[in-house]
Amino acid sequence: MSFFPVSRENKGGIVFLNDHNSRDVAKAALILALSDNRDEELKLKENFKAKGIKTAAVDFGGEFSSIATKIIERAVVAAKREGLIMSTHVEEGAVAGATHEALSQASQKIIGFNVGGKIGIAKRGEHLSVAIFLGIGLLHLNDVTIGLAHRAIPK
């Protein structure tokens, strides 16, 4: 039983709620961040676009302490490049803040380690979500984690 009193639609193997809420946008960002390669990413972006969700994705990697600010910058640049946001203080700040929040959720596991992963960004209406999938390098004992954050951007 769903806690959300709305109908559901299944299109392309992805179930979306029909009220176009923040949950759908967060799901899109997370699915995009988990995509395996560029071809899959492009197919997902087209699928989300058909549902009215604008998306962007960007890969990153390196030693976390030295690339944390670069990850946030890359998210903002990708969101602008793909037309999710305009070059305004409010919209750039929303992407930067959500990216920082998503990184903060994983920070206890990743400080001092090499990380690599993908940022998925999704926006529809006032809802913007950023999901970060991180692979954490530790010898041959790799670990994974995710972070997810939401911001509302006034129309």
Cβ neighbours of 20 (radius 10 Å): 16
**pLDDT score of 15:** 57
Write down the pTM of the prediction: 0.85
3-state secondary structure (DSSP) of residue 4: coil
Mean pLDDT along residues 32-52: 95
Query: What is the rounded average pLDDT for all residues in the chain?
Result: 88
Q: Sorting pLDDT into bands at 50, 70 and 90, what band is 2?
A: very low
Domain boundaries along the sequence of the chain: 20-152
CA distance 56 to 82: 6
Please tell me the total number of residues recorded for the chain in this structure: 155
CB 34 within 8 A of CB 133: yes
CA distance 108 to 138: 14
CA distance 128 to 141: 34
**pLDDT score of 13:** 60
Beta strand 54-63 with 127-137 is: unpaired
The model's pLDDT over 95-122, given as tens digits with 9 standing for 90+, comes to: 999 999 999 998 888 888 899 999 999 9
**pLDDT score of 137:** 87
3-state secondary structure (DSSP) of residue 148: strand
Is CATH 3.40.1510.10 what the domain over 20-152 is classified as, yes or no?
yes
Residues 6+ apart with CB under 8 A from 108: none
CA distance 75 to 119: 7
- DSSP state letters, 48-112: HHHTT-EEEEEEEEEEHHHHHHHHHHHHHHHHHHTTSS-S-HHHHHHHHHHHHHHHHHHHHHHTT
Whether the predicted pLDDT of 1 surpasses 50:
no
